[in-house]
Copies of this chain bind each other. A is one copy, B any other.
Amino acid sequence: VKKINILNDPVSGFIRISEKIYSDIIDHPYFQRLRRIKQLGLTDLVFPSANHTRFQHTLGAFMLMQEALEILRHKGVNISDEEMKAASLAIMLHDIGHGPFSHALENSIVANVDHEEISLSFMNFFNDFTNGNLDLCLKMFTNKYERPFFHDLISGQLDIDRLDYLRRDSFFSGVREGNVGSQRIVQIMNVVDEKLVFERKGIYSIENFLIARRIMYWQVYLHKTVLAAEQILIKIFKRAKELVKAGQKIKCNHNLDFFLNYDISLNDFNNPKVLNKFAALDDYDIIVAIKDWTKHRDKVLSDLCRRLIERDLFKVEISKKVFDKKRIGELSNKLSKEFGLSENEKSYFVFSDFVQNSLYDYKSSKINVLKSDGQIVDISDVSSGFNTSLISDPDQEFFLCYPKELRN
């Protein structure tokens, strides 16, 4: 009798780990580390229940992929056991390249390297580890497999990744409006000419998906207090690197130390030692370093760290228009007068930038809808009354941060 490991998950129900290769990878320390990386970084400072990890999301997506493929099989799409395994592994590993506090620190710990490229390095490692058993998985992940619908499922406009993280982030944050009918959307998937399509009868579910995603962006992912916290985190690492370059000593765990002292590029990840050092980092190292740095003699660094740990965040103003430079200048000056900061130091406390919900990028991939007459069209062609500009135009917002103590 085959031994099947079952995990409880309040979102997915039961997650079955049915193949040895699955458990071999899950049990590896490189994968176990995802237990210590939160899916939504600092978001729990606003939504206290959003403490779910990349480990949970990854396994949830893994499970949903298998459900989707089973449904496609039921509809007569021919999917071999090898393909099932490869696609399941690809989604299981698609996010493994994320570092701690991923989006916020993506360019702070390792500059100019996309987490998907690091995921690829890990997959290559695991391919060796499993004696070449990830060849097909790698092909699918890099979109070189002859049946592109697998890649559409792994990484597309409406893929398994998004279907899991949206429902999960909505569930744990408690923002129920962001809930997505993932179970329903996989039911309307089909394959035509080896491409992923969605059956016409389900377009309301797709519209709901798009709206829910927008809600999650503006209400959760880009919530202005979350933004304020992430900006402080980014500034902390900017300052720390600046101090290190200026020759100051920064106490921290030796894995983190490596990334503060060296500028790592994508190529370096081919070096197993670098990969290993990266794989040793998680949210815990970052938070403990920041806790230590609250005692650092550099005022800028210690004050920023204290703010994050005590949740004494910046005030954030939001605007559809770029903020007036004069106003920013006045705030900066007031700050330097009151706290005696230099020109460079001021930029850590008063600053403006913008965010945009660029995910609605309609150029790169489409949501194909299969009409009952067999024709395939884009969602924007059948979604009557649905504002396609809503879908494709990036929403943009400018923000301005400064200490609460500053009178405006």
Q: Which residues in A have some Cβ–Cβ distance to B below 8 Å? A: 1-2, 4, 6-11, 13-14, 16, 18, 27, 29, 32, 35-36, 44-45, 47-49, 51-53, 55-56, 59, 74-76, 171-177, 179, 181, 183-184, 187, 204-205, 207-208, 211-212, 214-215, 218-219, 253, 280, 284-285, 287-288, 291-292, 309-311, 320, 384-387, 389-390, 393, 395
Contact = CB atoms under 8 A, between A and B. Distances in A.
30 contacts: A2-B75, A2-B76, A7-B47, A7-B48, A8-B47, A9-B49, A9-B174, A10-B49, A10-B171, A11-B49, A13-B174, A14-B183, A18-B74, A35-B44, A35-B48, A177-B204, A177-B205, A204-B219, A207-B211, A211-B211, A214-B385, A253-B288, A284-B287, A284-B288, A285-B288, A288-B288, A385-B387, A385-B393, A385-B395, A387-B390
A75 B4 CA distance: 8
Name, among A1, A53, A174, the residue most crowded by chain B CB atoms within 10 Å (CB to CB): A174
A177 B208 contact: yes
A384 B389 contact: no
Nearest to A181: B177
A183 B10 contact: no
A2 B292 CA distance: 38
A316 to B, nearest CB: 13
Contact of A13 (B183, B291, B386, B390): B183
Contacts of A386: 387, 390
A39 to B, nearest CB: 10
Contacts of A8: 47-49, 173-175
A173 B11 CA distance: 10
Nearest to A39: B51
A223 B179 CA distance: 23
Given A18-B74, A49-B52, A288-B284, A184 B177 contact: yes
Contacts of A55: 48
Nearest to A36: B287
Contacts of A287: 36, 284
B56 A53 contact: no
Contacts of A2: 74-76
Contacts of A219: 204
Given A29-B310, A48-B59, A1 B76 contact: yes
A184 B14 contact: yes
Q: Nearest 8 A-B pairs (CB), nearest first?
A: A387-B387, A8-B174, A177-B208, A10-B174, A51-B51, A288-B288, A29-B310, A284-B287
Given A48-B55, A385-B395, 5 more contacts: A8-B175, A29-B309, A176-B179, A214-B385, A285-B288
Contacts of A35: 44-45, 48, 311
Given A75-B2, A280-B291, A309-B29, A10 B172 contact: yes
A181 B74 CA distance: 26
Contacts of A27: 311
Contacts of A56: 48-49
Contacts of A53: 44, 48, 51
Contacts of A387: 385-387, 389-390
Contacts of A280: 291
Contacts of A76: 1-2
A1 B395 contact: no
Nearest to A33: B309
Nearest to A306: B29
Nearest to A59: B48
A35 B50 CA distance: 11
A234 to B, nearest CB: 20
A6 B48 contact: no
Given A9-B48, A385-B390, A32 B310 contact: yes
